[in-house]
């Protein structure tokens, strides 16, 4: 487990150094040097950091510089710091006295985690090291009861960020249990289907999910400018014949396409198309590519749903290449080696990254029994937030 992020309490301007030293979680400072440009530090693990003077003044944790309750910044860094502060070590931590006599006290671990050129955040790093599915990928199962503990909750949330899919088993057969699980993490993300939705066959549906037909692999709400990040699907009943759930790692498939057909990959990355949902009350649409990359060329998002693709509005000479690229991606996506299939059982919940992992289901026969899932969405910001809170208690 990564060292938890530690905030220095701002209960008073002159923090007692005995109290401050109790917050040290491993690293302590062994050497300091201050000049008119920066303060250079060395820790007991031999790592080093060089901190500009204005950065240190800007990050002073005292109650003059940070609100004592909200921890929000009060100091405004408008003037350069041109005179080196008086720097001293106190029980392995840093004390700075500035030219205007202001005193800043910094925890050694806090500084170590935030040293310049060290761009590693324990939770954000999980997003950068997503583990692509192998051909024999088996999703992690976590007992619902275990997820109620801090350690168990950390485990399933970290797995969710890493693999994009995790299953909770043996949960209660209780209405709104999915909502209770979601609210432990943060507010549910509402859509035009509500904050919490029921998935079952019903008359006059406004979405294919509310029928008994099979659903090809897709992401939810690609017609939104910001599709939901995380989806939770909780099974309450599943007695009908059929209805097996399908999942595929869209990132793994996109990388396979990049290797096998680089031009098709570029076409799906560089060609925005229209996605649109409309019924009697809503008409929600966006124009975006199927595959989105970040600034360094890494996969950021898969936006894929065949039945709510709108009219393909492209120049004549781009239409055939787009269809060819779409066909290649579709064929890879539906290759059995890229899919997993499972039958959700009552009390089981699938949690997955909707902007990475595509999901679907086999057709089912509603005359053979009832099938009822409840679902909701969460922003990935709340998953990261919850993990940061949990990591304060390693």
The predicted-structure confidence for 343-375, as pLDDT tens digits, reads as follows 999 999 999 999 999 999 999 998 899 999 999
The residue behind tokens 């990132």 is 251
The residue behind tokens 């969710």 is 160
The predicted-structure confidence for 268-286, as pLDDT tens digits, reads as follows 999 999 999 998 889 999 9
Average pLDDT, the chain: 89
281 burial class (0-12, 13-18, 19+ CB within 10 angstroms)? exposed
Average pLDDT for 212-220: 91
Q: What is the pLDDT of residue 123?
A: 53
pLDDT greater than 80 at residue 138 = yes
**In this prediction, what percent of the chain has a pLDDT beyond 70?**
88
The predicted-structure confidence for 299-337, as pLDDT tens digits, reads as follows 999 999 998 999 999 999 999 999 999 999 999 999 999
Average pLDDT for 124-142: 81
Alpha-carbon torsion angle 184, 190, 195, 198, nearest 10 = -120
Average pLDDT for 121-149: 82
Q: What is the pLDDT of residue 259?
A: 97
- Alpha-carbon distance 228 to 192, whole Å? 12
Sign, CA dihedral 227-229-234-238, equals: positive
CATH number of 126-390: 3.60.130.10
- Alpha-carbon distance 65 to 83, whole Å? 19
Q: Cβ neighbours of residue 104 under 8 Å, at least 6 residues apart?
A: 56, 57, 60, 61, 62, 65, 85, 95, 96, 98
Domain boundaries, the chain: 17-119, 126-390
pLDDT bracket for residue 17 (50, 70, 90): very low
CATH number of 17-119: 3.30.2020.30
Q: What is the pLDDT of residue 213?
A: 85
The model's pTM is 0.80
Average pLDDT for 90-96: 95
């Amino acid at each position: 487990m990564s060292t938890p992020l530690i905030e220095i309490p701002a209960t008073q301007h002159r923090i007692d150094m005995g109290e401050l030293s109790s917050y040290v979680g491993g690293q302590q400072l062994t050497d300091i040097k201050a000049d008119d440009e920066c303060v250079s530090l060395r820790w007991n693990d031999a790592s080093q950091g060089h901190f500009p003077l204005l950065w240190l003044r800007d990050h002073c944790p005292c109650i003059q510089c940070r609100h004592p309750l909200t921890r929000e910044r009060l100091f405004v860094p408008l003037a350069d710091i041109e005179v080196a502060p008086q720097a001293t070590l106190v029980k392995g931590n840093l004390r700075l006295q500035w030219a205007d006599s202001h005193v800043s006290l910094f925890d050694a671990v806090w500084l170590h985690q935030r040293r310049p050129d060290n761009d590693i955040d324990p939770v954000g790093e999980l997003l950068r090291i997503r583990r692509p599915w192998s051909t024999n990928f088996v999703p992690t199962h976590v007992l619902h009861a275990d997820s109620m503990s801090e350690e168990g909750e950390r485990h399933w949330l970290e797995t969710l960020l890493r693999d994009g899919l995790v299953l909770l088993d043996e949960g209660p057969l209780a209405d709104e249990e999915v909502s209770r699980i979601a609210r432990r993490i943060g507010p549910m993300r509402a859509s035009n289907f509500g904050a919490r939705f029921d998935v079952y066959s019903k008359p006059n549906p406004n979405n294919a999910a509310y029928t008994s037909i099979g659903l090809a692999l897709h992401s939810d709400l690609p017609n939104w400018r910001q599709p939901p990040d995380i989806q939770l699907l909780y099974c309450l009943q599943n007695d009908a014949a059929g209805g097996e759930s399908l999942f595929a790692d869209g990132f793994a498939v996109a990388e396979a396409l990049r290797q096998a057909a680089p031009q098709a990959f570029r076409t799906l990355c560089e060609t925005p198309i229209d996605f649109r949902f409309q019924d009697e009350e809503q008409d929600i649409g966006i124009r975006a590519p199927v595959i989105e990359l970040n600034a360094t060329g890494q996969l950021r998002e898969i936006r894929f749903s065949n039945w709510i693709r709108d009219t393909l509005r492209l120049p004549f000479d781009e239409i055939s290449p787009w269809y060819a690229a779409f066909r290649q991606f579709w064929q890879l996506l539906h290759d059995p080696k890229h899919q997993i299939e499972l039958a959700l059982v009552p009390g089981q919940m699938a949690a997955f990254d909707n902007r990475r992992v595509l999901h679907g289901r086999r057709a089912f026969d509603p005359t053979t029994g009832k099938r009822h899932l409840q679902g909701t969405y969460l922003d990935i910001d709340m998953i990261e937030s919850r993990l940061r809170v949990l990591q304060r208690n390693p």
